[in-house]
A and B are shown apart, each in its own frame.
Chain A
Amino acid sequence: MIVPAISFQHLRKAYRNLIALDDLCLDLQPGEFFGLLGPNGAGKTTSLHTIIGLVKPTAGRVLIKDLDAVRDYRQVHRLVGITFQEFVLDAQFLNVREILIYQAGYFGVSPKHAGSRADELLQQFALWDKRASRVQELSGGMKRRLMLAKALMHDPEILILDEPTAGADVELRHQIWEMLQDFHQQGKTILLTTHYLEEAERLCERVAILQKGRLLAVGSPKELARQRDQHRLEDVFLELIRSDKQ
């Protein structure tokens, strides 16, 4: 049996009396490009954060290649690169290039190696001209690219991207898509969340639709559309969300 890249097992998260995740069970296969979809507040970010231990499960667990996200957090973190929904960038005193080098350092990459890796990614993400800039001087799209580069510094096997194309212009969105497809081709597992359903349709082999912490459907976008006599994922999504609300 193949060990899933990520396995959510009866995962439950409650914030006081708000249930953010309700018995979530979901397996991602190694090398899979997977989309986690759902309206605002569905629990997408919460489930991603349980993978890296930023959210403590109320019950259930998350395994990453059979490693427990809580118990084996250090090994898990080595395997995972994450970009957060908000701009998480150490802007206190570091410039763009230093942000990447420090990030690699936290993952144990030697400074020499980190320098060349940073330069490579700065060029790939068209941030080379901004390498000496402070974060405050970057546009929103540039910050998104920097966050992506940061997540890739330690060359992770699994990429977790929380709305990586939010606020990106059309061209940047296409660039990010191409890059993600590249990583996918390299065999990396990708788990992303997005509110752009055509993006999920284009990129993801499978998607899961979440509402109020509950899983409403899982499958390939085509399969889900076929089952419901629809053409577009967006229509499937709306139908599921609306009928669940009733």
Chain B
Amino acid sequence: MIGFLTLLKREVMRFIKDALDTIAPPTVDVILYMLIFGLALGARLGEVQGVSYIQFMMPGLILMSIIRNSFYNPAYSLFQSRWDGNIADALSSPLSYTQMALAIILGGVARGLLVGVLVLIAALVLTNLPFAHPILVLVYGLSVSIAFAGLGCIVGLCAKNWEGINTVNVFLLDPLVLLGGVFYSLEMVRGIAVIESLTRLNPFTYIIGGFRGALLGTTEADAIIGLILALGLGVVLVMLSILLFRVGYHLKA
């Protein structure tokens, strides 16, 4: 257990010691979105699903922060450890491969939830969020965080260079999140065929919708589908990370 906690501590200290580069930018970034889209433009958009636009977009922004930061920490940490060679320290220790994968994933969860909470606090300064189903909020936040930390772990193992990590962000994370209805409801894009169908096909629409429902009490997407998707994704991606560690993918010659 000490071994596992040590590696987890390393993964957490890694971003805490560097908070100005790891925590501050994504938080500030999202606060800017809140100010521009929420306060400035949102005022002209009126109500969406029975809440003000700024309220409507907050759950998506919080989830977006959790996703990105849960992903980045394991992806960069693992890739850098492979790059520098110091991954060999963990690999030659008595840690099990499962422990290694889980510690690295939990490091990502810690960063994702920390940024998520900071963004939530900023959101509460700008508007009110009713926390309709607090337990569900927590379950959503946690399972999404675990899923994307798992993805980060996988990408950290698979990436061949630094750019590879960013590529995943641009081609996978951003489209999933942005076309998952962070900034609009299905109602708002009805008739714009491309956007509407992409949004309907996107599993994130249901996860973000469910999270929004939990936080605001709105009910566009089916909360249970979102939850099942989030939990399922978490389980699959974590298992896959553990599997890659076990076979030593890009870790052993």
Using a CB–CB cutoff of 8 Å, the interface residues on chain A facing chain B are 15, 46, 49, 52-56, 74-75, 77-78, 80, 82, 84, 86-93, 102-103, 105-110, 150
Contact = CB atoms under 8 A, between A and B. Distances in A.
B252 A89 contact: no
A90 B89 contact: yes
Interface residues of B, number: 30
B94 A90 contact: no
B253 interface: yes
Given A54-B253, A108-B2, A108-B3, A77 B88 contact: no
Nearest to A82: B92
A93 B17 contact: yes
B86 A91 contact: yes
B98 to A, nearest CB: 11
B43 interface: no
A55 B81 CA distance: 17
26 contacts: A49-B253, A52-B92, A54-B88, A55-B253, A75-B94, A77-B93, A77-B94, A78-B94, A88-B86, A91-B84, A92-B84, A92-B86, A93-B14, A93-B18, A102-B6, A103-B89, A103-B93, A105-B7, A105-B9, A106-B7, A106-B89, A106-B95, A107-B94, A108-B3, A110-B2, A150-B89
B200 interface: no
- Residue among B13, B18, B93, B252 with the highest chain A CB neighbour number at 10 A: B93
Contacts of A105: 2-3, 5-7, 9
A90 B6 CA distance: 13
Task: Say what secondary structure dominates the interface of chain B.
Answer: helix
Interface in B37-56: none
Interface in B4-37: 5-7, 9-10, 13-14, 17-18
Contacts of B80: 92
Interface of B: 1-3, 5-7, 9-10, 13-14, 17-18, 77, 80-81, 84-86, 88-96, 248, 252-253
Contacts of B3: 105-108
Contacts of A56: 248, 252-253
Contact of A108 (B86, B94, B253): B94
Nearest to B247: A56
B96 A74 contact: yes
Contacts of A107: 3, 93-94
Interface of A is mostly: loop
Nearest to B13: A93
A150 B160 CA distance: 29
A107 B92 CA distance: 9
A82 B86 CA distance: 13
Nearest to A45: B253
A15 B77 CA distance: 28
Contacts of A106: 3, 6-7, 89-90, 93-95
A91 B83 CA distance: 12
A53 B91 contact: yes
